């Protein structure tokens, strides 16, 4: 039986070049590829449920408008996290520190075992609540590491700090969250 050779999807850098050359399809492909990660990061960072889509949209709009300032040293995805984090910071500043996350806002992920579901959802709810009490850098380092699986070196690039400092923020975050979640 003949197997059709699989074509690799174009890399972010290739799509960015295509967008620079005027391809709207390339821009749409980049949005489709990264929108969910950005939305999850924003939601866990404290964005209001009703604001998430707008913030995701603003993140991409800003990224494409300033595409010339992305020189490819960091991954395109990392650059999106930087923009999303800054947008959320501005949003919080506008709301003057009003906490926008409520536990009732969050849906619970489905699970076969009701007891396990309860435990997992409870844990997530407590964690979400605990995250809102952390300083911004600790919260973002924790989420980028744990939720997005990004290495410290790349986290440092996203947040404009050093890998060592990112590691320290992570350990502070975990320590504080352990206290808050228990």
Partner 1 sequence: MIACEWLCERMAEVAHGRSGWTLEESAHLASCAECAAEWGLVAAGGRLGRDLEGRLDTAAIANRVVDRLAAARRVDRWRRTGLLVGLAAAAALVIAVWPARHPPPQQIARSSQTLTVPLAELDGLDSGQLQAVLETLDAPLSSEASIAIPTLGDLDEQQMERVLRSLEG
Compute CA 1 distance to the chain's CA centroid, rounded to the nearest angstrom. 42
Cα 27 to Cα 94: distance, rounded to the nearest angstrom? 29
- Smallest gap from residue 177 Cβ to partner 1 (A): 6
SS3 string, 71-86, reads CCCCCHHHHHHHHHHH
Tokens of 112: 């076969």
- Smallest gap from residue 2 Cβ to partner 1 (A): 32
Nearest to 124, CA basis, from 144, 145, 147, 148: 147
The smaller minimum CB distance to partner 1, of residues 2 and 115, is found at 115
> Is 76 in contact with 12 (CB distance < 8 Å)?
yes
Interface residue list for partner 1 (CB under 8 A): 24, 27-29, 31-32, 35-36, 39-41, 43-44, 52-53, 56-57, 60-61, 64-65, 106-109, 120, 123-124, 127-128, 142-143, 145-149, 174, 177-178, 181-182
The smaller minimum CB distance to partner 1, of residues 87 and 96, is found at 87
Tokens of 60: 């991409």
- Smallest gap from residue 168 Cβ to partner 1 (A): 14
Q: Which residue has the tokens 């924003």?
A: 42
- Smallest gap from residue 5 Cβ to partner 1 (A): 26
- Smallest gap from residue 32 Cβ to partner 1 (A): 5
The smaller minimum CB distance to partner 1, of residues 40 and 92, is found at 40
The smaller minimum CB distance to partner 1, of residues 5 and 114, is found at 114
> Is 46 in contact with 101 (CB distance < 8 Å)?
yes
The smaller minimum CB distance to partner 1, of residues 4 and 147, is found at 147
Q: How far apart are the first and last CA of the chain?
A: 57
């Amino acid at each position: 039986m003949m197997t059709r050779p699989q074509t690799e999807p174009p890399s972010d850098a290739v799509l960015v070049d295509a967008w620079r050359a005027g391809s709207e399809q390339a821009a749409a492909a980049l949005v489709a590829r990264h929108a969910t990660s950005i939305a999850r990061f924003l939601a866990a960072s404290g964005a209001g449920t009703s604001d998430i889509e707008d913030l995701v949209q603003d993140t991409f709009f800003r990224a494409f408008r300033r595409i010339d300032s992305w020189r490819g040293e960091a991954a395109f995805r990392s650059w999106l996290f930087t923009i999303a984090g800054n947008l959320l910071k501005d949003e919080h500043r506008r709301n003057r520190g009003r906490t926008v996350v409520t536990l009732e806002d969050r849906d619970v992920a489905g699970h076969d075992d009701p007891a396990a579901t309860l435990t997992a959802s409870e844990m997530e709810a407590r964690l979400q609540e605990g995250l809102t009490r952390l300083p911004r850098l600790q919260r973002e380092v924790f989420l980028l590491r744990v939720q997005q699986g990004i290495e410290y070196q790349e986290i440092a690039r996203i947040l404009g700090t050093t890998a060592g400092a990112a590691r320290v923020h992570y350990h502070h975050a975990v320590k504080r969250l352990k206290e808050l979640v228990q």
